[in-house]
Structures are given as C-alpha cells and as structure tokens.
C-alpha cells in the first residue's frame, strides 16, 4: 500500500481488458448465432406462431342444390335457419327473460327450465331449425350461456302431392328418401375452408389461401310437370276416397321422351312436417310394390302371337264354354263367350282366349318377350328400393302357369314397369327408356314389336274402351284413347284372397299419335265396386283429359259428349 493522498498510476493487468473484450464479443456471437438460428432454421415455426395471431381459418358453407320441376317451379329449396343451444352451467337469466325465451322458442316454460337446469350436461339443444328472425330476437335477449348455430333446412312447397317423388332430407341435410336420396351425390354440396387475415376490427383484409373451395350442390331439373302431378294426385285422391281403397298409385309417362311427368301415391305424408310417419305413408307404391297385373298383360301375349305370325287380328279363337281346364286347374271367363276374334279377346278381356293363345306358343318366347318389355328387372331410375317384380325362368313354367301368365297371374310387376311396357304400343313397337330428370328430347327406344303389330294392338286397345269393351269410362272428350283394365285377386299367404282386389288401368292417348301413357292402380277398393273399368278407368280418363289439354295436344276425335253405358251394360273381366 502506498501513502494516502498521493495519486498513483495503477496498472491493471492487461488480461482483464482482453477478457472483457472477449466476453463482449462472445455475447455478440451468441446474439448473432441466435438470430441466424431464428431466421434460418426455425423460421417456419415462428411465422406460424405469428400468423396464428392474425390469420383465421373460416368455414365456407355450401348449400344443397335446388330441385325444380320441368317448368322451373321450386320443389325443394334449402334456406338457412338457426339452432339454439345452451351450456346449462353458464345460463344466468332472470325469470321474465326465461319466460320470453320460452315464448320465442314456443316451448313450455317448465320444459325449458328442465333443460337448462341439467347441470351434468355441457351442451343441450333448446330447439333446432328456427326462423332467422326469431333467432335474432332470441339473441336480442342477451342471455349468457345461450348460443346459436347456423344450419340449413329444406322446404318442400309441393307438400304431400310431391312427397314420394322428392322424398326428404334428415336434420343433417342428407337425403333419406326419394330423389333426395337417389341424387344425393349431385345435390349435396361440399363445405370448403379458407385462411384469411383479419384486422383489429375483425374485418377480413386479405385472403391468404383457399384450403378447400366450397362446392355448392347442383340444381336438379326433374321431368315432373307439377300441373299434371297435381291433377293426377287430385284424381287419385278422390278415387281412393270414393272407393274406400287401402292405397292407390298413378304414374304418367311422356311417350316420346320416356320422361316421368307425374308419379303419385296414397297414402302420403307432408315432407315439411314428418312427425309420426308410418311405413305405409312412406311407401312409393309405383316403384317399390309389385303386384299381379291381371288382364293388362293380355295385349303382350296377343302381340307376340301376331308378331310371330301365328295369328292375325281377325283369327278366331273358340272360347266357349267359357272355361278351360288344364290339369287340375280351371280358367274361367266372367262372360262365357263363343268364337271370338283376337281383337275381341282383348276387348272383352277373355281369360280363356288369352290362355289358348299363350299355349300355342313356346314358353321361352313368352319369357323372352316379358324380359324385353322390362319385366323381372328393376327399371333402374336410380330410385331407392325399385322393385324388379317376379318373373320366373321359362324352364320352370308348367303349362297352367304359362296359361295364367297370359292374363297376368303368376307374374308380378310394379306399376312403373307396367306403364313403361305400354310405351311399346304407344311408340309403334319401341320400348322407351325412363327418366326422372328432364331430357326434353325424344329418346331412342328398343324395338319389341314391328310398327304394324303395335298399330294393330292400339286399335284393339281402343276397342276395349268403346261400349262393348271393359272400360268405356276411360274415354275422354276430344281424343281417342286406348287401354286395358286389370282386376286381380290379391295374394295373401300364398293363396288368392276372395274379396280383395287390385284394380288397375293402363292406357295411352291420343291413339292417332300417342303422347302419354298413364297407369292407375287402386289397392283393395272396398266400397262395392272393384272392377278396373269402374274404379281405375275414370281416374285415367280424368287425368288424361286434363293432361292432354295442358300439353295442347291436337284433337283426333269429335268433341261429342261421351255416353256412359247404363249399369250392367259393361263387360266385366275377372282378372
């Protein structure tokens, strides 16, 4: 130590300065290394973190496509609605608030109270799918713990008239019946998402990327004409009520394009309000039910016989004494006839005549014909649950079965198969392909009969609706019509039920240049009348008259009033 007060130069050791310098440099090096590391190695992580502060991924909802009829009238439309839900724990509302909430949701106040006091549940729907206006008023109440979410709801303006064609979607917007189910892939949209940058106020200021583009469902234009549909539904409904039938079905086809213009079933339901639906209401009988068609099949048997040159329309068939016994089975005619021409077999609907014609042909040929007009195979319209009907292999047919099949027993078809098969007569021998979607263009068919045979059959079927035939009530004023009745006993537990019938009528008009095929079926008419000519033919007539007027088809018959035969004058058939 040196003396106090005397300043002295102290020489610090040189290493200390160097040490400080090295430390400082090292600190800089660390900083530099760190920044290099952050900038180059770890950059994506940091950028991601940064973006998370201001970028958001948004759901882009997609709407389900509309369904419209051939004239563009809306049949099914999705529109946004709100669902209201609550977190019971968070709900904190005053009594008057709860009361007005219950009123807005139109549910019982006690029910609401029960729902929001379920403490163990974290999420409870108070009501699904309410109108956006109501939802806005609920939001206006400002009750904490009550939330809303956007959903789509599907509305069906056509209601019960269109129910079986359109079907409906479930609460999750997925098709469950009808066209909604069949065309789910087309109608359904795919929700997308995108990343955006939002500013302080929550406005979107920049679109960063579209992660998945939203795809709205495509609109679907059906072949249905809602005017004809309404006409058909109304006529069917009044017939089902008058004749106290268990069920009824009708289908209208456009002959040239094969489009389905109308398709209705009873009983039906309202697709907008589907509480307490029964299976019977949901059933689309036109497509999914097959029945024994009865006499409506006779023209095919006769057509085949003429086509193959075995008979001409003028050939005579001996039907006396009105019965024909094959093995242990006897075929009856309702009206015991004498020798009849082939045309009269159709006109009077003689079972014996049809059976005799059938037995003169090999069973393979008949089987082949039935196959070619579309029996025994689903029509493949893409509809859920299409019936293919029952057509057994030809080699299993016994003679009696071949005979009964000639008049439509021992074989079953759906109403749409039957209607389609009749396009063979209406289209000069060609079978039309069917479509439920508007095509608007004539469709190429597959030839089954030659044009001459088809025209000959048309003439016979026209005779069947004249006085002296089975269905004079099928005629319409101003147009020539042709068609065939069917009245078949229903099968129950493998045997024919005595007093249960399926009455049907299939026909076309105008005969000179057919435009429409209409098939009508009534199940178990139980008000006394059950013959196809009395029950189903008037429905045909009513719908055909209206539909031809709507289509503006030129008249091909004088506009004279139709004289209906008196009671008892009609020829009745028993199949």
Partner 1 sequence: MAKLNLLLLLVLIVCALGLVTSRHESRKLFTELEREQERARALEIEFGQLQLEAGTWGLHSRVEKIATGALGMRAPDPRRVRMVEVKGEPRR
Residue 105 contacts by C-beta under 8 Å, 6 or more apart in sequence? 84, 112, 126, 127, 130, 134, 138
504 binds partner 1 (CB under 8 A): no
Q: Which helix (H) or strand (E) holds 290?
A: strand 290-291
Asked if 299 contacts 425 with a C-beta cutoff of 8 angstroms, the reply is yes
The single residue among 105, 138, 158, 344 that binds partner 1, judged by CB under 8 A, is 158
Residue 543 contacts by C-beta under 8 Å, 6 or more apart in sequence? 228, 231, 232, 235, 250, 252, 262, 518, 520
The single residue among 56, 73, 218, 365 that binds partner 1, judged by CB under 8 A, is 73
d(C-alpha 82, C-alpha 129), whole Å:
5
The single residue among 84, 101, 116, 161 that binds partner 1, judged by CB under 8 A, is 161
The single residue among 155, 399, 439, 455 that binds partner 1, judged by CB under 8 A, is 155
Residue 163 contacts by C-beta under 8 Å, 6 or more apart in sequence? 156, 178, 265, 268, 269, 270, 271
- Judged by beta carbon, residue 117 or residue 210, the one nearer partner 1 is 210
Of 83-91, 302-310, 516-524, 546-554, which part binds partner 1 (CB under 8 A)?
546-554
d(C-alpha 408, C-alpha 299), whole Å:
10
Whether residue 267 has a cis bond before it, omega within 30° of 0: yes
- Judged by beta carbon, residue 39 or residue 79, the one nearer partner 1 is 79
- Binders of partner 1 among 266-295, rule CB under 8 A? none
203 binds partner 1 (CB under 8 A): yes
384 binds partner 1 (CB under 8 A): no
DSSP 357-382: HHHTS-HHHHHHHHHHTTTTS---SS
- Judged by beta carbon, residue 164 or residue 227, the one nearer partner 1 is 227
- Binders of partner 1 among 13-72, rule CB under 8 A? 63, 66
d(C-alpha 183, C-alpha 290), whole Å:
23
Q: For residue 40, what is the DSSP state?
A: I
- Judged by beta carbon, residue 230 or residue 574, the one nearer partner 1 is 230
The single residue among 477, 497, 527, 564 that binds partner 1, judged by CB under 8 A, is 477
Whether residue 321 has a cis bond before it, omega within 30° of 0: yes
Q: How far is the CB of 571 from partner 1 (least distance, A)?
A: 26
DSSP 9-36: -----HHHHHHHHHHHHHHHHHHHHHHH
204 binds partner 1 (CB under 8 A): yes
Q: How far is CA 279 from CA 261, 268, 412, in A?
A: 25, 10, 21
- Judged by beta carbon, residue 77 or residue 240, the one nearer partner 1 is 77
Q: For residue 218, what is the DSSP state?
A: P
The single residue among 559, 566, 567, 568 that binds partner 1, judged by CB under 8 A, is 559
Q: How far is the CB of 553 from partner 1 (least distance, A)?
A: 8
Q: How far is the CB of 203 from partner 1 (least distance, A)?
A: 5
Of 156-164, 303-311, 341-349, 465-473, which part binds partner 1 (CB under 8 A)?
156-164
150 binds partner 1 (CB under 8 A): no
206 binds partner 1 (CB under 8 A): yes
Comparing CA positions, the residue from 526, 64, 37, 522 lying closest to residue 294 is 522
159 binds partner 1 (CB under 8 A): yes
441 binds partner 1 (CB under 8 A): no
Number of residues engaging partner 1 in binding (CB under 8 A): 36
- Judged by beta carbon, residue 63 or residue 288, the one nearer partner 1 is 63
d(C-alpha 401, C-alpha 359), whole Å:
10
Asked if 366 contacts 293 with a C-beta cutoff of 8 angstroms, the reply is no
Residue labelled with tokens 């040196």: 2
Is 295 catalytic? The answer is yes
| Active-site option among 223, 226, 257, 295 | 295
80 binds partner 1 (CB under 8 A): yes
541 binds partner 1 (CB under 8 A): no
Asked if 525 contacts 535 with a C-beta cutoff of 8 angstroms, the reply is yes
478 binds partner 1 (CB under 8 A): yes
d(C-alpha 51, C-alpha 45), whole Å:
10
d(C-alpha 508, C-alpha 514), whole Å:
6
SS3 label, residue 232: helix
399 binds partner 1 (CB under 8 A): no
The single residue among 56, 147, 555, 572 that binds partner 1, judged by CB under 8 A, is 555
The single residue among 5, 142, 528, 561 that binds partner 1, judged by CB under 8 A, is 561
157 binds partner 1 (CB under 8 A): yes
> For the window 217-246, what string marks contact with partner 1 as x by the rule CB under 8 A?
---------xx--x---x------------
Query: What is the contact surface with partner 1 in residues (CB under 8 A)?
Result: 63, 66, 73-75, 77-80, 155, 157-159, 161, 199, 203-207, 226-227, 230, 234, 477-478, 545-546, 549, 551-552, 554-555, 559-561
Residues marked as catalytic: 295
């Amino acid at each position: 130590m040196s003396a106090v007060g005397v300043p002295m130069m102290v020489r610090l050791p040189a290493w200390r300065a160097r040490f400080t310098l090295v430390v400082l440099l090292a600190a800089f090096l660390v900083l530099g290394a760190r920044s290099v590391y952050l900038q180059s190695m770890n950059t994506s992580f940091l950028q991601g973190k940064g973006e998370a502060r201001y970028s958001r991924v948004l759901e882009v909802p997609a709407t389900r496509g509309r369904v419209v009829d051939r004239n563009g009238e809306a049949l099914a439309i999705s529109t946004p609605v709100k669902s209201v839900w609550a977190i019971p724990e968070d709900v904190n509302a005053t009594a008057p608030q709860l009361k007005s909430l219950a009123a807005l949701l139109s549910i019982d106040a006690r029910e609401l109270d029960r729902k929001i006091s379920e403490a163990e549940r974290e999420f409870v729907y108070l009501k699904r799918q309410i109108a956006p206006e109501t939802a806005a008023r609920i939001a206006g109440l400002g009750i904490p713990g009550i939330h809303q979410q956007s959903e789509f709801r599907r509305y069906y303006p056509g209601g019960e008239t269109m129910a079986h064609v359109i079907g409906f979607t479930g609460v999750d917007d997925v098709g469950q019946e009808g066209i909604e189910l069949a065309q789910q892939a087309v109608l359904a949209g795919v929700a997308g998402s995108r990343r955006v940058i939002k500013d302080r106020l929550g406005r979107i200021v920049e679109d960063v990327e579209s992660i998945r583009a939203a795809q709205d469902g495509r609109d679907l234009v059906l072949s249905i004409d809602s005017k004809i549909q309404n006409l058909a539904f109304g006529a069917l409904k009044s017939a089902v009520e008058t004749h106290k039938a268990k069920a009824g079905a009708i289908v209208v086809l456009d002959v040239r394009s094969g489009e389905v213009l109308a398709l209705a079933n009873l009983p039906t339901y309202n697709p907008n309000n589907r509480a307490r639906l029964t299976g019977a209401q949901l059933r689309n009988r036109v497509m999914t039910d097959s029945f024994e068609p009865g006499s409506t099949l006779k023209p095919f048997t006769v057509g085949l016989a003429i086509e193959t040159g075995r008979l001409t329309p003028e050939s005579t068939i001996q039907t006396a004494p009105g019965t024909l016994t094959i093995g242990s089975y006897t075929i009856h005619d309702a009206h015991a006839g004498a020798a009849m021409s082939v045309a009269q077999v159709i006109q009077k609907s003689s079972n014996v005549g049809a059976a005799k014609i059938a037995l003169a042909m090999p069973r393979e040929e008949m089987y082949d014909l039935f196959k070619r007009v579309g029996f025994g195979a689903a029509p493949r319209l893409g509809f859920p649950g299409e019936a293919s009907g029952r057509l057994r292999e030809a080699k299993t047919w016994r003679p009696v079965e071949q005979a009964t099949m000639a008049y439509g027993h021992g074989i079953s078809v759906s109403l749409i198969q039957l209607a389609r098969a009749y396009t063979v007569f209406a289209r000069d021998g060609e079978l039309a392909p069917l479509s439920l979607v508007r095509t608007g263009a004539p469709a190429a068919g597959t030839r089954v009969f030659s044009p001459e045979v088809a025209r000959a059959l048309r003439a016979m079927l026209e005779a069947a609706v004249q006085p002296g035939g089975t269905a004079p009530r099928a005629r319409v004023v101003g147009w020539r019509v042709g068609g065939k009745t069917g009245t078949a006993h229903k099968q129950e537990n493998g045997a024919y039920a005595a007093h249960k019938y399926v009455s049907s009528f299939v026909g076309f008009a105008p005969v000179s240049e057919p435009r429409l095929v209409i098939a009508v079926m009534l199940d178990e008419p139980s008000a006394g009348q059950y013959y196809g000519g009395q029950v189903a033919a008037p429905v045909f007539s009513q719908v055909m008259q209206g539909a031809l007027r709507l289509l503006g088809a030129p008249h091909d018959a004088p506009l004279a009033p139709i004289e209906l035969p008196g009671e008892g004058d009609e020829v009745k058939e028993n199949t």
